[in-house]
């Protein structure tokens, strides 16, 4: 392949000229040469060395560095790219080896071709599914498989988070990889509470899904002495049961109680031995967390400090009043509030936000 030899400092300048004039060989990379020079790969449309447009730079023959396509859309037929260029999806989500993509109505019929292109480009992706929105009581996504590597269309996959493998099935249960930072912060708060109490914690995650929050808590040595976890979605419960055993660390202080149930979170108060017990509670049902909170407070331990971390979708303008709102729920259940902080994690819609709250209190 012909290459244009240019001084290194002029590489960008000549790349731009070649690109604009159709002289750049696509799919090939720039060569690094001796004496600080670079070799720009030329297409067959580029003029001969004698052409004055090269400003005296020489042309030489060399094997080019062939780069693969940089974007999955480069695997699509060029006529299709031209037809759908304004609707080409520019983002997607990956859970394990499953890629989930939202397709505009206009390009849905091209879903299988788009999915094949994505599989060609992304070696770690096995299955591509179209995301047709959230459905049902458990807000699970309606996913339509579009293409699979080696025809393996299983929707069960494993996600690695903070060194732990978590099995999930995005067609049946909720999981958000984007909230992994929140889970890291759960761990920091739990460690701080352990320090204050000078003992491992009794933890409850009643909306556990497949258990990502428990993965980080249970993996930490000597952090959890008792664990109460559940989910109302039977599919999430099945996966949670399988996952949770793989999370448990070999601590000096063993886990004395592990209770995993397929129940409504508000029913934990009816479970024997759960009331007045929990040091660290997670409340993760964002559309209803604040509504459910009063029903969960009787679970909290008495006469020692405890922590609640939760997430809620609220009206943007109500953020300022949420600390007071949560404080008053705690006080009404006999709690002495040490601190409540409410912060925006991300926007949810034009008028709503996704908020995290963390409260430290002592119930009497």
Ligand X SMILES: C[S@@+](CC[C@H](N)C(=O)[O-])C[C@H]1O[C@@H](n2cnc3c(N)ncnc32)[C@H](O)[C@@H]1O
Comparison of 30 and 312: residue with beta carbon closer to ligand X: 312
- Smallest distance, Å, CB 81 to ligand X? 36
Interface with ligand X: number of residues (CB under 6 A): 21
Using the rule CB under 6 A, is 314 a contact of ligand X? no
Nearest C-alpha neighbor of 139 from the set 313, 297, 278: 313
Contact pick of 284, 301, 306, 361 for ligand X (by CB under 6 A): 284
| Nearest distance, CB of residue 167 and ligand X, angstroms | 13
Mode of pairing for the β-strands spanning 127-135 and 140-148 = antiparallel
Q: For ligand X, which is the closer residue by CB, 31 or 215?
A: 215
**Strand pairing partners for 39?**
5, 31
CA distance 256 to 290: 30
Residue of 252, 178, 264, 255 whose CA lies nearest to 214: 255
Q: Using CA atoms, how far apart are residues 355 and 364, in angstroms rounded to an integer? A: 28
* Residue 231 interacting with ligand X (CB under 6 A): yes
Dmax over CA atoms of the chain, in Å, equals 91
Vertex 259: Cα angle to 258 and 262 (nearest 5): 145
Among 25, 73, 233, 243, binds ligand X (CB under 6 A): 233
Task: CB nearer to ligand X: give 97 or 205.
Answer: 205
Task: With beta carbons less than 8 A apart as the criterion, state whether 101 and 132 touch.
Answer: no
**At its nearest, how many Å lie between ligand X and the CB of residue 247?**
13
Alpha helices in the chain (DSSP H): 11-20, 78-84, 111-121, 180-197, 212-219, 234-247, 289-296, 319-332
Q: Please identify, using beta-carbon distances, which residue of 176 and 339 lies nearer to ligand X.
A: 176
Give CA–CA dist 49/353, Å, rounded.
60
Question: DSSP states of 319-331 as a string?
Answer: HHHHHHHHHHHHH
Q: Which of 23, 175, 228, 280 binds ligand X (CB under 6 A)?
A: 175
Task: Give me the 188-217 binding string for ligand X, x by CB under 6 A, dash otherwise.
Answer: ------------------xxxx--xx----
Binding mask 136-165 for ligand X (x = CB under 6 A): --x---------------------------
Is 361 one of the binding residues for ligand X (CB under 6 A)? no
Can you state the angle between helices 212-219 and 234-247, rounded to 10 degrees? 20
The minimum distance between CB 76 and ligand X, in angstroms, equals 34
| Interaction between residue 340 and ligand X (CB under 6 A) | no
Among 119, 236, 244, 355, binds ligand X (CB under 6 A): 236
Phi, psi of 158 (to 5 degrees): -120, 135
CB of 283 to ligand X, least distance (A): 10
Give the range of 45-53, 97-105, 226-234, 343-351 binding ligand X by CB under 6 A. 226-234
Q: How far is the CB of 233 from ligand X (least distance, A)?
A: 3
Q: Taking CB positions, which residue lies at the least distance from ligand X?
A: 209
DSSP state of 57: -
Of the pair 39, 286, the CB lying nearest ligand X is at 286
- Cα–chain-centroid distance for residue 240? 18
Q: How far apart are CA 84 and CA 71, in angstroms?
A: 15
- Which segment (28-36, 127-135, 193-201, 280-288) binds ligand X by CB under 6 A? 280-288
Q: Which residues bind ligand X (CB under 6 A)?
A: 138, 173-176, 179, 206-209, 212-213, 231-233, 236, 264-265, 284-286
């Amino acid at each position: 392949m012909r290459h244009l030899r240019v001084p290194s400092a002029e590489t960008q300048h000549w790349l731009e000229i070649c690109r604009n004039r159709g002289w750049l060989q696509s799919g090939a990379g720039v060569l690094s040469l001796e004496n600080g020079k670079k070799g720009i790969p030329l297409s067959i449309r580029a003029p001969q060395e004698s052409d004055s447009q090269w400003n005296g730079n020489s042309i030489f023959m060399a094997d080019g560095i062939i780069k693969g396509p940089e974007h999955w859309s480069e695997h699509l037929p060029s006529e299709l790219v031209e037809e759908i260029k304004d609707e080409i999806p520019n983002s997607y989500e990956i859970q394990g080896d499953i890629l989930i993509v939202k397709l505009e109505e206009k390009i849905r019929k091209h879903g299988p071709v788009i999915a094949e292109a994505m599989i060609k480009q992304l070696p770690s992706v096995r299955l591509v599914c179209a995301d047709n929105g959230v459905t049902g009581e458990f807000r699970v996504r309606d996913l339509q498989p579009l293409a699979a590597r080696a025809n393996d269309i299983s929707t069960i996959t494993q996600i690695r988070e903070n060194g732990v493998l978590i099995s999930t099935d995005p067609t049946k249960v909720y999981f958000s990889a984007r909230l992994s930072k929140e889970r890291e912060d759960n761990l920091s708060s739990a460690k701080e509470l352990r320090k204050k109490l000078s003992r491992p914690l009794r933890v409850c995650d009643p909306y556990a899904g497949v258990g990502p929050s428990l993965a980080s808590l249970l993996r930490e040595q000597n952090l959890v002495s008792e664990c109460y976890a559940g989910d109302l979605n039977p599919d999430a419960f099945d996966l949670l049961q399988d996952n949770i055993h793989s999370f448990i660390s070999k601590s000096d202080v063993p886990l004395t109680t592990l209770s995993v149930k397929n129940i409504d979170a508000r029913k934990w108060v009816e479970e024997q031995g759960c009331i007045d017990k929990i040091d660290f509670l997670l409340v993760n049902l964002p559309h209803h967390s604040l509504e459910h909170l009063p029903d969960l407070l009787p679970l909290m331990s008495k006469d020692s400090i405890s922590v609640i971390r939760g997430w809620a979708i609220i009206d943007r303008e109500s953020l300022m009043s949420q600390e007071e709102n949560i404080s008053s729920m705690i006080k009404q259940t006999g709690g002495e509030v040490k601190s409540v902080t409410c912060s925006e994690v991300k926007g949810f819609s034009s008028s709503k936000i996704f908020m995290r709250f963390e409260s430290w209190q002592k119930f009497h």
